[in-house]
Amino acid sequence: MNYWWLIPFLAVFSYVLTGLLRRYALSRSLIDIPNQRSSHSIPTPRGGGVAIVLSFICALVILFNTGLISDRTAIALVGAGGIAAVIGFLDDHGHIAARWRLLAHFFAAAWGIYWAGGMPPFEIGGVSIQLGWLGHFLALIYVVWMLNLYNFMDGIDGLAGVEAVTTCAGAVAICLLGGYTGLAWPPALLAICCVGFLCWNFPPAKIFMGDAGSGFLGVVLGVLALQAAWIDPGLLWGWLILLGVFVVDATFTLIRRLLRGEKIYEAHRSHAYQVASRKFGKHLPVTTAVGLINVLWLLPIALCVVRFKLDGAVALVIAYLPLFWLAVKYRAGELEEN
Protein backbone atom coordinates (compact mmCIF):
# COMPACT_ATOMS: atom_id res chain seq x y z
CA MET A 1 0.00 0.00 0.00
CA ASN A 2 1.22 3.51 -0.85
CA TYR A 3 1.72 5.79 2.14
CA TRP A 4 3.51 8.63 0.37
CA TRP A 5 0.39 10.78 0.70
CA LEU A 6 1.46 11.28 4.31
CA ILE A 7 4.24 13.64 3.19
CA PRO A 8 2.10 16.43 1.65
CA PHE A 9 -0.64 15.87 4.24
CA LEU A 10 1.67 16.35 7.22
CA ALA A 11 3.52 19.27 5.64
CA VAL A 12 0.26 21.16 5.01
CA PHE A 13 -1.16 20.18 8.41
CA SER A 14 1.93 21.43 10.23
CA TYR A 15 2.01 24.63 8.15
CA VAL A 16 -1.65 25.48 8.76
CA LEU A 17 -1.43 24.59 12.44
CA THR A 18 1.62 26.83 12.89
CA GLY A 19 -0.34 29.73 11.40
CA LEU A 20 -3.22 29.09 13.79
CA LEU A 21 -0.81 28.91 16.73
CA ARG A 22 0.65 32.25 15.68
CA ARG A 23 -2.81 33.80 15.88
CA TYR A 24 -3.33 32.15 19.26
CA ALA A 25 0.01 33.44 20.58
CA LEU A 26 -0.77 36.98 19.43
CA SER A 27 -4.22 36.87 21.03
CA ARG A 28 -2.76 35.62 24.34
CA SER A 29 0.25 37.98 24.22
CA LEU A 30 2.66 35.02 24.18
CA ILE A 31 5.44 37.18 22.82
CA ASP A 32 9.21 36.97 23.23
CA ILE A 33 10.31 40.52 24.04
CA PRO A 34 13.98 41.18 23.16
CA ASN A 35 16.34 41.86 26.06
CA GLN A 36 20.10 42.03 26.59
CA ARG A 37 20.33 38.22 26.57
CA SER A 38 18.28 37.75 23.39
CA SER A 39 19.59 37.01 19.93
CA HIS A 40 16.64 38.74 18.24
CA SER A 41 15.59 42.38 18.09
CA ILE A 42 11.88 42.22 17.15
CA PRO A 43 9.06 41.05 19.50
CA THR A 44 7.93 37.69 18.12
CA PRO A 45 5.16 35.25 19.13
CA ARG A 46 6.32 31.89 20.47
CA GLY A 47 4.92 28.37 20.80
CA GLY A 48 4.84 27.37 17.13
CA GLY A 49 6.63 24.12 17.91
CA VAL A 50 3.34 22.72 19.16
CA ALA A 51 2.51 22.24 15.47
CA ILE A 52 5.45 19.84 15.19
CA VAL A 53 4.29 18.00 18.30
CA LEU A 54 0.69 17.51 17.18
CA SER A 55 1.46 16.70 13.56
CA PHE A 56 4.14 14.14 14.46
CA ILE A 57 1.94 12.45 17.07
CA CYS A 58 -0.71 12.23 14.35
CA ALA A 59 1.93 10.67 12.07
CA LEU A 60 2.90 8.13 14.73
CA VAL A 61 -0.73 7.08 15.21
CA ILE A 62 -1.06 6.54 11.46
CA LEU A 63 2.23 4.62 11.28
CA PHE A 64 1.14 2.38 14.16
CA ASN A 65 -2.30 1.69 12.70
CA THR A 66 -0.75 0.76 9.35
CA GLY A 67 1.82 -1.51 10.98
CA LEU A 68 4.83 0.55 9.91
CA ILE A 69 6.05 0.95 13.51
CA SER A 70 5.66 -1.29 16.57
CA ASP A 71 3.51 -0.54 19.59
CA ARG A 72 6.63 -0.07 21.75
CA THR A 73 8.03 2.50 19.34
CA ALA A 74 4.76 4.44 19.31
CA ILE A 75 4.43 4.34 23.11
CA ALA A 76 8.07 5.40 23.60
CA LEU A 77 7.89 8.38 21.25
CA VAL A 78 4.39 9.60 22.07
CA GLY A 79 4.89 9.21 25.82
CA ALA A 80 8.36 10.70 26.13
CA GLY A 81 7.73 13.43 23.59
CA GLY A 82 4.32 14.24 25.04
CA ILE A 83 5.68 14.67 28.57
CA ALA A 84 8.44 16.96 27.34
CA ALA A 85 5.98 18.95 25.24
CA VAL A 86 3.49 19.42 28.08
CA ILE A 87 6.07 20.72 30.56
CA GLY A 88 7.47 22.96 27.82
CA PHE A 89 4.00 24.25 26.96
CA LEU A 90 3.33 25.10 30.59
CA ASP A 91 6.68 26.86 30.82
CA ASP A 92 5.90 28.83 27.65
CA HIS A 93 2.68 30.06 29.26
CA GLY A 94 4.05 30.70 32.74
CA HIS A 95 7.40 30.06 34.40
CA ILE A 96 7.97 26.56 35.84
CA ALA A 97 10.75 26.22 38.42
CA ALA A 98 13.91 24.63 37.01
CA ARG A 99 13.82 21.71 39.47
CA TRP A 100 10.30 20.70 38.37
CA ARG A 101 11.21 21.02 34.70
CA LEU A 102 14.26 18.81 35.24
CA LEU A 103 12.20 16.22 37.13
CA ALA A 104 9.75 16.07 34.22
CA HIS A 105 12.67 15.77 31.81
CA PHE A 106 14.04 12.74 33.67
CA PHE A 107 10.59 11.17 33.74
CA ALA A 108 10.15 11.71 29.99
CA ALA A 109 13.59 10.26 29.29
CA ALA A 110 12.99 7.25 31.55
CA TRP A 111 9.68 6.56 29.84
CA GLY A 112 11.23 6.65 26.38
CA ILE A 113 14.23 4.53 27.38
CA TYR A 114 12.07 1.89 29.06
CA TRP A 115 9.79 1.40 26.05
CA ALA A 116 12.76 1.59 23.65
CA GLY A 117 14.33 -1.35 25.47
CA GLY A 118 17.01 0.47 27.45
CA MET A 119 20.58 1.09 26.39
CA PRO A 120 21.54 -1.25 23.54
CA PRO A 121 25.02 -2.76 23.19
CA PHE A 122 27.43 -0.48 21.38
CA GLU A 123 30.58 -1.18 19.45
CA ILE A 124 34.05 0.28 19.85
CA GLY A 125 36.85 -1.05 17.69
CA GLY A 126 34.65 -3.92 16.54
CA VAL A 127 33.99 -5.06 20.12
CA SER A 128 30.39 -5.15 21.36
CA ILE A 129 30.01 -3.78 24.88
CA GLN A 130 26.98 -4.28 27.13
CA LEU A 131 27.06 -2.02 30.21
CA GLY A 132 23.94 -3.29 31.98
CA TRP A 133 22.47 -0.85 34.50
CA LEU A 134 25.34 1.59 33.94
CA GLY A 135 24.35 1.68 30.30
CA HIS A 136 20.73 2.47 31.20
CA PHE A 137 21.91 5.29 33.46
CA LEU A 138 24.11 6.71 30.69
CA ALA A 139 21.17 6.45 28.29
CA LEU A 140 19.05 8.43 30.76
CA ILE A 141 21.66 11.18 31.00
CA TYR A 142 22.03 11.20 27.22
CA VAL A 143 18.30 11.68 26.54
CA VAL A 144 17.92 14.33 29.25
CA TRP A 145 20.91 16.18 27.82
CA MET A 146 19.48 15.90 24.30
CA LEU A 147 16.23 17.44 25.53
CA ASN A 148 17.97 20.33 27.23
CA LEU A 149 20.64 21.01 24.62
CA TYR A 150 17.95 21.28 21.96
CA ASN A 151 16.28 23.91 24.09
CA PHE A 152 19.60 25.73 24.56
CA MET A 153 20.31 25.71 20.82
CA ASP A 154 16.90 27.08 19.84
CA GLY A 155 18.03 30.68 19.97
CA ILE A 156 18.08 32.12 16.46
CA ASP A 157 15.65 32.02 13.55
CA GLY A 158 15.32 28.66 11.84
CA LEU A 159 18.26 26.95 13.54
CA ALA A 160 16.43 24.24 15.51
CA GLY A 161 14.12 23.54 12.59
CA VAL A 162 16.93 23.25 10.05
CA GLU A 163 18.86 20.99 12.45
CA ALA A 164 15.85 18.70 12.83
CA VAL A 165 15.13 18.55 9.09
CA THR A 166 18.72 17.88 8.01
CA THR A 167 19.44 15.45 10.86
CA CYS A 168 16.27 13.45 10.20
CA ALA A 169 16.90 13.49 6.44
CA GLY A 170 20.41 12.21 7.15
CA ALA A 171 19.00 9.49 9.40
CA VAL A 172 16.64 8.44 6.60
CA ALA A 173 19.59 8.23 4.21
CA ILE A 174 21.74 6.07 6.50
CA CYS A 175 18.77 3.79 7.25
CA LEU A 176 17.91 3.29 3.57
CA LEU A 177 21.50 2.82 2.41
CA GLY A 178 22.16 0.52 5.36
CA GLY A 179 19.20 -1.64 4.36
CA TYR A 180 16.99 -0.69 7.31
CA THR A 181 13.97 0.60 5.40
CA GLY A 182 11.53 0.13 8.28
CA LEU A 183 13.47 2.52 10.50
CA ALA A 184 13.21 5.38 8.01
CA TRP A 185 9.54 6.28 8.47
CA PRO A 186 9.61 8.09 11.85
CA PRO A 187 12.56 10.41 11.07
CA ALA A 188 11.22 11.00 7.55
CA LEU A 189 7.82 12.14 8.79
CA LEU A 190 9.34 14.14 11.66
CA ALA A 191 11.38 16.05 9.06
CA ILE A 192 8.22 16.78 7.07
CA CYS A 193 6.40 18.02 10.18
CA CYS A 194 9.34 20.35 10.86
CA VAL A 195 9.27 21.66 7.29
CA GLY A 196 5.70 22.92 7.74
CA PHE A 197 6.75 24.82 10.87
CA LEU A 198 10.00 26.00 9.31
CA CYS A 199 8.07 27.89 6.61
CA TRP A 200 7.05 30.28 9.42
CA ASN A 201 10.28 30.13 11.41
CA PHE A 202 12.91 30.52 8.70
CA PRO A 203 14.73 33.88 8.92
CA PRO A 204 13.17 36.30 9.48
CA ALA A 205 10.98 34.27 11.84
CA LYS A 206 7.27 35.04 12.17
CA ILE A 207 6.95 32.73 15.18
CA PHE A 208 9.39 30.94 17.50
CA MET A 209 9.40 27.25 18.38
CA GLY A 210 9.13 27.60 22.16
CA ASP A 211 10.08 25.07 24.84
CA ALA A 212 7.25 22.69 23.93
CA GLY A 213 8.67 22.14 20.46
CA SER A 214 12.37 22.16 21.28
CA GLY A 215 12.00 19.79 24.24
CA PHE A 216 9.85 17.46 22.16
CA LEU A 217 12.41 17.36 19.35
CA GLY A 218 15.31 16.77 21.71
CA VAL A 219 13.77 13.79 23.49
CA VAL A 220 12.33 12.24 20.31
CA LEU A 221 15.65 12.43 18.47
CA GLY A 222 17.41 10.91 21.48
CA VAL A 223 14.97 7.99 21.70
CA LEU A 224 15.03 7.38 17.94
CA ALA A 225 18.81 6.99 18.11
CA LEU A 226 18.56 4.40 20.91
CA GLN A 227 15.84 2.44 19.13
CA ALA A 228 17.87 2.32 15.92
CA ALA A 229 20.92 1.06 17.81
CA TRP A 230 19.06 -2.12 18.78
CA ILE A 231 18.96 -2.97 15.07
CA ASP A 232 22.54 -1.92 14.29
CA PRO A 233 24.97 -0.40 16.85
CA GLY A 234 26.48 1.64 14.02
CA LEU A 235 23.24 3.58 13.73
CA LEU A 236 23.77 5.09 17.20
CA TRP A 237 27.14 6.42 16.09
CA GLY A 238 25.49 7.67 12.93
CA TRP A 239 22.84 9.60 14.87
CA LEU A 240 25.45 11.08 17.22
CA ILE A 241 27.52 12.23 14.24
CA LEU A 242 24.49 13.80 12.53
CA LEU A 243 23.65 15.72 15.74
CA GLY A 244 27.24 16.89 16.11
CA VAL A 245 26.72 20.66 15.66
CA PHE A 246 24.21 20.87 18.50
CA VAL A 247 26.04 18.37 20.74
CA VAL A 248 29.43 20.09 20.44
CA ASP A 249 28.25 23.70 20.75
CA ALA A 250 25.93 23.02 23.69
CA THR A 251 28.36 20.73 25.56
CA PHE A 252 31.41 22.95 25.01
CA THR A 253 29.46 26.01 26.17
CA LEU A 254 28.04 24.21 29.21
CA ILE A 255 31.45 23.02 30.38
CA ARG A 256 33.00 26.49 30.11
CA ARG A 257 30.10 28.06 32.01
CA LEU A 258 30.29 25.40 34.71
CA LEU A 259 34.00 26.00 35.15
CA ARG A 260 33.24 29.68 35.73
CA GLY A 261 30.65 28.79 38.35
CA GLU A 262 27.69 30.18 36.41
CA LYS A 263 24.12 28.98 36.88
CA ILE A 264 23.63 26.88 33.79
CA TYR A 265 19.83 27.27 33.77
CA GLU A 266 20.04 31.05 33.45
CA ALA A 267 19.54 32.60 30.01
CA HIS A 268 22.66 33.69 28.14
CA ARG A 269 23.89 34.17 24.60
CA SER A 270 27.36 32.70 24.68
CA HIS A 271 26.83 29.69 22.39
CA ALA A 272 29.02 29.68 19.30
CA TYR A 273 25.99 30.05 17.04
CA GLN A 274 24.87 33.13 18.98
CA VAL A 275 28.31 34.73 18.78
CA ALA A 276 28.43 33.96 15.05
CA SER A 277 24.99 35.50 14.45
CA ARG A 278 26.12 38.72 16.15
CA LYS A 279 29.32 38.75 14.13
CA PHE A 280 27.45 38.40 10.83
CA GLY A 281 24.63 40.67 11.97
CA LYS A 282 22.06 38.17 10.68
CA HIS A 283 20.65 34.77 11.58
CA LEU A 284 20.39 33.44 8.02
CA PRO A 285 24.13 32.85 7.37
CA VAL A 286 24.51 30.83 10.59
CA THR A 287 21.35 28.77 10.07
CA THR A 288 22.37 28.07 6.46
CA ALA A 289 25.91 27.12 7.49
CA VAL A 290 24.62 24.59 10.04
CA GLY A 291 22.42 22.97 7.40
CA LEU A 292 25.35 22.75 4.99
CA ILE A 293 27.67 21.28 7.65
CA ASN A 294 25.09 18.62 8.41
CA VAL A 295 24.58 17.66 4.77
CA LEU A 296 28.08 18.07 3.32
CA TRP A 297 30.28 17.05 6.27
CA LEU A 298 28.45 15.04 8.92
CA LEU A 299 26.16 13.00 6.67
CA PRO A 300 28.96 11.49 4.53
CA ILE A 301 30.84 10.42 7.67
CA ALA A 302 27.69 8.88 9.17
CA LEU A 303 27.12 7.02 5.90
CA CYS A 304 30.66 5.61 6.07
CA VAL A 305 29.89 4.20 9.54
CA VAL A 306 26.64 2.49 8.58
CA ARG A 307 27.29 1.55 4.94
CA PHE A 308 31.05 0.90 4.92
CA LYS A 309 31.48 -0.09 8.59
CA LEU A 310 33.98 2.62 9.52
CA ASP A 311 34.61 2.39 13.28
CA GLY A 312 32.01 4.61 14.97
CA ALA A 313 34.30 6.07 17.64
CA VAL A 314 36.96 6.99 15.09
CA ALA A 315 34.34 8.52 12.80
CA LEU A 316 32.88 10.53 15.68
CA VAL A 317 36.28 12.05 16.49
CA ILE A 318 36.86 12.90 12.83
CA ALA A 319 33.40 14.49 12.57
CA TYR A 320 33.63 16.48 15.80
CA LEU A 321 37.17 17.90 15.55
CA PRO A 322 36.25 20.71 13.10
CA LEU A 323 33.15 21.44 15.19
CA PHE A 324 35.30 21.91 18.30
CA TRP A 325 37.53 24.22 16.27
CA LEU A 326 34.47 26.29 15.33
CA ALA A 327 33.37 26.38 18.98
CA VAL A 328 36.78 27.77 19.96
CA LYS A 329 36.87 30.16 17.00
CA TYR A 330 33.51 31.67 17.94
CA ARG A 331 34.34 31.73 21.67
CA ALA A 332 31.59 29.40 22.81
CA GLY A 333 30.98 29.78 26.54
CA GLU A 334 33.00 32.98 26.99
CA LEU A 335 31.58 36.04 28.70
CA GLU A 336 30.24 38.40 26.08
CA GLU A 337 32.24 41.39 27.34
CA ASN A 338 35.43 39.43 26.65
154: annotated binding-site residue? no
Handedness of CA 64, 62, 209, 292 (dihedral sign): positive
| CA 332 – CA 152 distance, rounded (Å) | 13
211: annotated binding-site residue? yes
- The C-alpha torsion from 37 through 24 and 284 to 296, rounded to 10°, is 110
List of residues 6+ apart from 90 with CB closer than 8 A: 96
3-state secondary structure the chain: CCCCCHHHHHHHHHHHHHHHHHHHHHHCCCEECCCCCCCCCCCEECCCCHHHHHHHHHHHHHHHHCCCCCHHHHHHHHHHHHHHHHHHHHHHHCCCCHHHHHHHHHHHHHHHHHHHCCCCCEEECCEEECCCHHHHHHHHHHHHHHHHHHHHHCCCCCHHHHHHHHHHHHHHHHHHHCCCHHHCHHHHHHHHHHHHHHHHHCCCCCCCCHHHHHHHHHHHHHHHHHHHHHHCHHHHHHHHHHCHHHHHHHHHHHHHHHHCCCCCCCCCCCCHHHHHHHHHCCCHHHHHHHHHHHHHHHHHHHHHHHHHCCCHHHHHHHHHHHHHHHHHHCCCCCCCCC
| CA 69 – CA 309 distance, rounded (Å) | 26
CA angle 223, 152, 169 (to 5 degrees): 45
Annotated binding residues for Mg(2+), written as ranges, equal 151, 211
Annotated binding residues, written as ranges, equal 151, 211
